[in-house]
């Protein structure tokens, strides 16, 4: 083989790998990404039941109800619209009423959001950025109470 043929061979092999990767990336991006929505986004553009997405907002005050064996219900709000959420499992440490939360799951036939994952923040002074941004866009003022839960009352858990 001449130098040129060899180089061509390497370039072809490289292209095969990169082509495969591009295919995988496109396939994966079309199938696995999840959209982030607030209750108001949903009211404006309804999502069909069964489609996976991430719901963000604040846990509405006084909305957390514990049912039988690990069932939890709460409302997520962006202060304009409210959406009921049902979840079964262990809530994160920093899950609290009045605090930012991101839940991942699907809408059921009753219009409730059935979450399989609930994420709260990992830091007392930290708000999930999508939530902070979405709330800001909705014109919600984030006072100290929102960003510093030390000031807020009502801890349903613990």
Partner 1 sequence: MIAEIGHFALILALLMSLVQCVVPAWGAHVRDERLMAVGDTAASGTFALVLIAFVMLAIAYVGSDFSVANVYANSHTAKPFIYRLSGVWGNHEGSMVLWVLILALFGAAVAWFGGYLPVTLKARVLSVQASVAFAFLIFILLTSNPFERIDPAPLEGRGLNPILQDPALAFHPPFLYAGYVGFSMAFSFAIAALMEGRVDAAWARWVRPWTLAAWMCLTLGIAMGSWWAYYELGWGGWWFWDPVENASFMPWLAGTALLHSAVVMEKREALKVWTILLAILTFSLSLMGTFLVRSGVLSSVHAFAVDPQRGVFILAIMTVFTGGGLALFAARANDLKQGGLFSPISREGALVLNNVVLATATGTVLIGTLYPLALEAVTGDKISVGAPYFNLTFGPLMIPLLLAIPFGSFLGWKRGDLRAAAERLLVAAGVALVAAVIAFAFVSPGPWAAPLGLALGFWVLAGAVWELLFRARLGQAGPAEVMRRLSNLPRSAWGTSVAHAGVGLMVIGIVGTTAWQSEQILAMKPGDRATMAGYTLEFRGIEAGRGPNYSEDRARFIVTDAGRPVTELFPSKRLYDAPRQPTTEAGIHAAIGGDLYVVIGDAQNDGGFAVRLYFNPLVRCIWLGAILMFIGGALSLSDRRLRVGAPRKARKPLVVPAE
Residues making contact with partner 1 (CB under 8 A): 1, 3, 6, 9-10, 13-14, 17-18, 20-21, 24-25, 27-29, 31-36, 54, 66, 69-70, 88-91, 93-94, 121-126, 128-130, 133-134, 150, 157-158
In whole angstroms, the minimum distance from the beta carbon of 119 to partner 1 comes to 8
- Return d(Cα 140, Cα 127) in angstroms, integer: 14
Q: Which residue has the tokens 């108001």?
A: 40
Q: Which of 96, 98, 97 is nearest to 143 (CA)?
A: 98
In whole angstroms, the minimum distance from the beta carbon of 37 to partner 1 comes to 8
Is the CB of 74 or the CB of 109 nearer to partner 1? 74
Is the CB of 37 or the CB of 75 nearer to partner 1? 37
- Return d(Cα 110, Cα 101) in angstroms, integer: 22
In whole angstroms, the minimum distance from the beta carbon of 148 to partner 1 comes to 9
- Work out whether strand 71-77 and strand 65-66 pair parallel, antiparallel, or are unpaired: antiparallel
In whole angstroms, the minimum distance from the beta carbon of 141 to partner 1 comes to 17
- Return d(Cα 45, Cα 43) in angstroms, integer: 6
- Return d(Cα 128, Cα 133) in angstroms, integer: 9
Is the CB of 60 or the CB of 118 nearer to partner 1? 118
8-state DSSP, 88: E
Is the CB of 18 or the CB of 49 nearer to partner 1? 18
In whole angstroms, the minimum distance from the beta carbon of 115 to partner 1 comes to 14
Helix, strand, or coil (residue 145): helix
Is the CB of 139 or the CB of 158 nearer to partner 1? 158
């Amino acid at each position: 083989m001449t130098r040129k043929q060899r180089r061509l061979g390497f370039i072809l092999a490289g292209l095969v790998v990169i082509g495969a990767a591009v295919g995988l990336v496109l396939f994966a991006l079309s199938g696995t990404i999840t959209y982030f929505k607030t209750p108001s986004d949903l009211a404006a553009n309804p999502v069909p039941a069964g489609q996976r997405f991430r719901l963000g907002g604040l846990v509405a005050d006084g909305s957390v109800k514990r049912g039988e064996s690990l069932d939890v219900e709460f409302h997520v709000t962006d202060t304009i619209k409210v959406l009921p959420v049902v979840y079964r499992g262990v809530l994160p440490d920093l899950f609290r009423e009045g605090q930012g939360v991101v839940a991942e799951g699907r809408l059921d036939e009753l219009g409730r959001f059935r979450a399989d994952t609930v994420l709260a923040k990992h830091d007392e002074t930290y708000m999930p950025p999508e939530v902070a941004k979405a709330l800001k866009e909705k014109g919600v003022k984030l006072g100290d109470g929102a960003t510093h839960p030390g000031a807020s009352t009502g801890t349903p858990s613990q």
